[in-house]
Amino acid sequence: MSNPANHHKITYIEFASTDIERTKQFYAAVFGWSFQNWGPDYISFAGAGVEGGGFYKTDAHDAPPKYAPLVVLYSADLAATEAAVVAAGGSIVVPAFDFPGGRRFHFSDGVGNVLAVWSE
Protein backbone atom coordinates (compact mmCIF):
# COMPACT_ATOMS: atom_id res chain seq x y z
CA MET A 1 0.00 0.00 0.00
CA SER A 2 1.44 3.34 -1.06
CA ASN A 3 1.35 6.45 1.12
CA PRO A 4 1.38 9.48 -1.23
CA ALA A 5 1.34 11.92 1.71
CA ASN A 6 4.84 10.74 2.68
CA HIS A 7 6.28 10.78 -0.86
CA HIS A 8 9.95 11.86 -0.67
CA LYS A 9 9.72 12.70 3.06
CA ILE A 10 12.23 11.45 5.60
CA THR A 11 10.49 8.62 7.45
CA TYR A 12 13.36 6.62 8.98
CA ILE A 13 16.98 7.04 10.06
CA GLU A 14 19.64 4.43 10.80
CA PHE A 15 22.66 4.77 13.06
CA ALA A 16 25.72 2.59 13.53
CA SER A 17 26.40 0.77 16.79
CA THR A 18 29.41 -1.21 17.95
CA ASP A 19 27.31 -2.78 20.74
CA ILE A 20 23.61 -3.40 20.07
CA GLU A 21 22.73 -4.37 23.66
CA ARG A 22 24.44 -1.31 25.13
CA THR A 23 22.69 0.86 22.55
CA LYS A 24 19.28 -0.49 23.61
CA GLN A 25 20.05 0.09 27.30
CA PHE A 26 21.27 3.65 26.71
CA TYR A 27 18.38 4.89 24.54
CA ALA A 28 15.75 3.13 26.62
CA ALA A 29 17.12 4.75 29.80
CA VAL A 30 17.60 8.24 28.35
CA PHE A 31 14.65 8.59 25.95
CA GLY A 32 12.33 5.72 26.82
CA TRP A 33 12.61 4.18 23.34
CA SER A 34 11.43 0.63 22.75
CA PHE A 35 13.18 -1.80 20.42
CA GLN A 36 12.49 -4.70 18.11
CA ASN A 37 15.26 -7.17 17.32
CA TRP A 38 15.75 -8.16 13.68
CA GLY A 39 18.57 -10.62 14.29
CA PRO A 40 21.87 -10.08 16.10
CA ASP A 41 23.00 -7.15 13.93
CA TYR A 42 19.94 -4.89 13.64
CA ILE A 43 17.32 -3.32 15.90
CA SER A 44 14.57 -0.87 15.11
CA PHE A 45 13.36 1.71 17.61
CA ALA A 46 10.24 3.73 18.38
CA GLY A 47 9.34 6.28 20.99
CA ALA A 48 7.69 9.60 21.71
CA GLY A 49 8.58 12.07 18.97
CA VAL A 50 10.28 9.43 16.84
CA GLU A 51 8.87 8.47 13.43
CA GLY A 52 11.14 5.43 13.32
CA GLY A 53 14.69 4.29 13.02
CA GLY A 54 17.21 1.60 13.65
CA PHE A 55 20.74 0.70 14.67
CA TYR A 56 22.95 -1.61 12.64
CA LYS A 57 26.00 -3.42 14.02
CA THR A 58 29.34 -2.11 12.84
CA ASP A 59 32.92 -2.80 13.81
CA ALA A 60 34.84 -0.20 15.83
CA HIS A 61 37.59 -0.32 13.20
CA ASP A 62 35.34 0.54 10.23
CA ALA A 63 36.06 3.71 8.31
CA PRO A 64 34.15 6.88 9.36
CA PRO A 65 31.48 6.59 6.62
CA LYS A 66 30.21 3.47 8.40
CA TYR A 67 29.29 5.74 11.32
CA ALA A 68 27.36 8.33 9.35
CA PRO A 69 23.60 8.17 9.95
CA LEU A 70 21.61 6.80 7.04
CA VAL A 71 18.62 8.99 6.24
CA VAL A 72 15.78 7.00 4.67
CA LEU A 73 13.13 8.70 2.54
CA TYR A 74 9.81 7.21 1.48
CA SER A 75 8.68 6.93 -2.15
CA ALA A 76 5.22 6.16 -3.46
CA ASP A 77 6.95 4.90 -6.65
CA LEU A 78 10.35 3.35 -5.90
CA ALA A 79 11.28 2.69 -9.54
CA ALA A 80 10.48 6.27 -10.59
CA THR A 81 12.54 7.71 -7.72
CA GLU A 82 15.46 5.41 -8.58
CA ALA A 83 15.30 6.56 -12.21
CA ALA A 84 15.20 10.21 -11.09
CA VAL A 85 18.31 9.71 -8.91
CA VAL A 86 20.25 8.31 -11.87
CA ALA A 87 18.91 10.94 -14.30
CA ALA A 88 20.06 13.70 -11.94
CA GLY A 89 23.61 12.32 -11.85
CA GLY A 90 23.43 10.24 -8.69
CA SER A 91 24.46 6.61 -8.50
CA ILE A 92 22.89 3.54 -6.96
CA VAL A 93 25.30 2.18 -4.33
CA VAL A 94 23.04 -0.60 -2.99
CA PRO A 95 20.56 -2.00 -5.53
CA ALA A 96 16.93 -2.39 -4.50
CA PHE A 97 16.39 -5.22 -2.02
CA ASP A 98 13.52 -6.65 0.00
CA PHE A 99 13.30 -6.18 3.76
CA PRO A 100 10.46 -6.78 6.25
CA GLY A 101 7.93 -4.13 5.25
CA GLY A 102 9.01 -3.34 1.71
CA ARG A 103 11.91 -2.66 -0.66
CA ARG A 104 14.65 -0.05 -0.66
CA PHE A 105 17.81 1.09 -2.41
CA HIS A 106 20.72 3.32 -1.35
CA PHE A 107 22.14 6.06 -3.54
CA SER A 108 24.99 8.54 -3.62
CA ASP A 109 24.24 12.13 -4.56
CA GLY A 110 27.72 12.51 -6.04
CA VAL A 111 28.87 15.06 -3.46
CA GLY A 112 29.55 12.75 -0.52
CA ASN A 113 26.14 11.82 0.83
CA VAL A 114 24.52 8.39 0.82
CA LEU A 115 20.80 8.12 1.49
CA ALA A 116 18.19 5.40 1.08
CA VAL A 117 14.68 5.33 -0.38
CA TRP A 118 12.03 2.77 0.55
CA SER A 119 8.51 1.78 -0.41
CA GLU A 120 6.06 -0.97 0.44
pLDDT at 16 (0 to 100):
87
Q: What is the mean pLDDT of residues 70-80?
A: 93
Across 9-18, 65-74, 95-104, least confident range: 65-74
Indicate yes or no: pTM above 0.75: yes
For 76-105, what is the HEC assignment?
A: CCHHHHHHHHHHCCCEEEEEEEEECCEEEE
**Amino acid (1-letter code) at residue 81:** T
CA atoms within 13 A on the CB side of 2: 9
- The DSSP bridge pattern shows strands 10-17 and 50-57 to be parallel
pLDDT digits (tens, 9 = 90+) for 19-32: 999 999 998 998 78
Q: What is the mean pLDDT of residues 78-105?
A: 95
Q: What angle do CA 26, 31, 37 make, to 5 degrees?
A: 60
b/e burial code for range 28-56 (CB count within 10 A of at least 16 → b): eeeeebebeeeeeebbbbeeeeeeebbbe
pLDDT at 111 (0 to 100):
72
pLDDT at 66 (0 to 100):
63
- What is the CATH T-level fold of the domain 4-119, as seen in this structure? 2,3-Dihydroxybiphenyl 1,2-Dioxygenase; domain 1 (3.10.180)
